[in-house]
């Protein structure tokens, strides 16, 4: 559980640093830039390199893709019904459609299911969530950002997205063993992601963000923490008849709070940053209540 304590400490540190004005206002941009260009590529090179793909892991990797698709449909319909601004819809799709299956997910899996279940969580995260972020997530960010980029511009954003480049490199390097020094360097760089991400989210959060965002926050987290996991549960258990520890871990991952990096991507593209940060911050806090409930259901 020390990983969860680390997340809480870093988030509170960000809030306090903003409260006492100990960092410049541009600090989140620097932190986010380091995360996207250094931390995420390091983790990708480290973990994708060691993953093996087989038929029995496909349903685990498929869950985040299904989750994102459900989120896109739900929030697009919600946006039309409630006449929500485009930036609000984009922020909800990104943060409501992508779960924190690594930095909250993996510690929670270890706490509730034991260390032997972590391999299943890594498959969900690396073959599912991360690939969705690097492709569909960047596409959505391009569509909902200012300027209405063309298909060519969106494709360039995906191809030149640093974690996507690292993803391709890691896949190419699978047949080759990494030297010990490279593994150590990648591990240390990857370890910076969680603390810096929570610090950035905490620094950008203040009570004023709730004004005008409360309804959308309730709708977004209601989908992410309750409705989406329920739909995937019905699909996997009731319709497909799947069972076993890997399935339970996969469904548990579906109930994770919004992905920190998705909130950062939304902020970097100017897609309702206040709502995106609220989704991440409040979602992490609420997940400490909702995840034990899902564990009992599963």
Specify if 251 maps to a domain. yes
Residue 166 is part of which domain span? 2-16+31-293
How high is the pLDDT of residue 115?
67
Specify if 248 maps to a domain. yes
Specify if 220 maps to a domain. yes
Specify if 166 maps to a domain. yes
Band of pLDDT at residue 135, cut at 50, 70 and 90? confident
pLDDT at 57 over 70: yes
Specify if 281 maps to a domain. yes
Specify if 22 maps to a domain. no
| CA 91 – CA 220 distance, rounded (Å) | 9
User: How far out from the chain centre does Cα 112 lie?
Assistant: 20
- Mean pLDDT of the residues in the chain: 87
Please report the DSSP string for 166-227 in residue order: HHHHHHHTTTSPPPHHHHHHHHHHHTTHHHHHHHHHHHH--GGGGTTTHHHHHHHHHIIIII
Specify if 266 maps to a domain. yes
Specify if 23 maps to a domain. no
Strand partners, 258: 99
Q: What total number of domains does the chain contain?
A: 1
248-263 confidence digits (pLDDT tens): 999 999 999 999 889 9
pTM: 0.82
Contact assessment for residue 276 and residue 212, using Cβ atoms and an 8 Å cutoff: no
**Token pair of 94 as six digits:** 């990104």
Q: Which DSSP category does 55 fall into?
A: G
203-242 confidence digits (pLDDT tens): 877 666 677 789 999 999 999 999 999 999 999 999 988 8
**Token pair of 50 as six digits:** 């060691």
Contact assessment for residue 204 and residue 276, using Cβ atoms and an 8 Å cutoff: no
| CA 249 – CA 245 distance, rounded (Å) | 6
Contact assessment for residue 124 and residue 101, using Cβ atoms and an 8 Å cutoff: yes
CATH number at residue 130: 1.20.1530.20
């Amino acid at each position: 559980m020390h990983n969860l304590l680390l997340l809480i400490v870093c988030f509170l540190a960000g809030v306090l640093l903003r409260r006492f004005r100990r960092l410049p206002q541009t600090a989140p941009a620097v932190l986010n830039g380091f995360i996207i260009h250094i931390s995420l590529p390091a983790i990708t090179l480290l973990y994708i390199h060691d993953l093996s793909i087989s038929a029995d892991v496909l349903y685990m990797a498929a869950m985040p893709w299904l989750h994102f698709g459900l989120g896109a449909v739900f929030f697009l319909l919600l946006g039309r019904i409630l006449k929500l601004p485009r930036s609000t819809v984009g922020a909800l799709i990104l943060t409501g459609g992508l779960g924190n299956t690594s930095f909250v997910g993996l510690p929670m899996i270890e706490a509730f299911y034991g260390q032997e279940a972590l391999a299943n969580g890594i498959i969900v995260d690396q073959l599912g969530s991360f690939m969705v972020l690097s492709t569909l997530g960047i596409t959505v960010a391009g569509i909902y950002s200012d300027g209405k980029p063309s298909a060519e511009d969106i494709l360039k954003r995906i191809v030149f997205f640093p974690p996507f480049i690292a993803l391709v490199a890691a896949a190419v390097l699978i047949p080759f063993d990494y030297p010990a020094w490279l593994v150590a360097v990648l591990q240390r760089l990857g370890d910076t992601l969680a603390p810096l991400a929570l610090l950035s989210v905490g620094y950008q959060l203040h009570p004023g963000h709730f004004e005008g965002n409360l309804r959308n926050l309730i709708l977004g987290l209601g989908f992410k923490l309750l409705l989406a996991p329920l739909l995937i549960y019905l699909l996997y258990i009731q319709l497909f008849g799947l069972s076993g520890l890997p399935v339970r871990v996969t469904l548990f991952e579906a109930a994770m709070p919004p992905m920190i990096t998705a909130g950062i991507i939304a902020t970097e593209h100017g897609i309702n940053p206040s709502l995106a940060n609220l989704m991440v911050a409040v979602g992490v806090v609420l997940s400490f209540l909702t995840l034990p409930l899902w564990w009992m259901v599963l």
